[in-house]
Amino acid sequence: MASPPHSPIQARNLGLPGWALGLTVFLFLVGGVYFFSNLAGENPAFAFPGASAPVAGPSGAPDPAVGEALIADAGCQGCHGQDLAGQASFPSLQGVSEGPVSENLQDLAAEHPEDWIALWIHGLKPEVEGIDRMGMPPFGESLSEQQIDAIVAYLRGL
């Protein structure tokens, strides 16, 4: 009887190689330590720009730097231009502290001179009901009041 052909590759009958088993155990240990160490909720939140950062500066006033980051995250440059100077039918956001450029917002600014920008960005409050948003999405469900205030602080400085 002939012997089976010789193969240079040895067959393993033990399952996973040792390094894969070791790596798996290590990952489970690290994940378990993180999970159980956070049962009290003390681990810091994952860093999403503007989401976990404090929106107020040291004085308690809204932080324009956070507003700038939130504007980048919200995609405002996609409509208002990279430098927020406006493009196509989307108005410039520079100089909004002087009042709205768009005619559809002039009545809102006259009635609410201090907070018309925040009302417009929020977009879901009764004060803006019935105003043609001309493509501007409401951000009241995706941004907090404090985040909107930080954006307004940034826009007022442009």
Residues 39 and 75 in one domain: no
| pLDDT score at 31 | 85
Residues 40 and 68 in one domain: no
Domain CATH code at residue 109: 1.10.760
Domain housing 32: 17-46
R_g of the chain, CA atoms, integer Å:
28
Long-range contacts of 129-135 (CB under 8 A, 24+ apart): 131/104, 131/105, 131/107, 132/104, 134/89, 134/102, 134/104, 135/79, 135/89, 135/90
Residues 70 and 99 in one domain: yes
Contact 107, 116 (CB under 8 A): no
| pLDDT score at 122 | 93
In degrees and rounded to multiples of 5, residue 90 shows phi and psi of -90, 125
Extract the residue ranges of the chain whose pLDDT is less than 50.
47-48, 50
How many structural domains comprise the chain? Answer: 2
Q: Can you read off the two tokens belonging to residue 60?
A: 């308690």
Residue 55 located in a structural domain: no
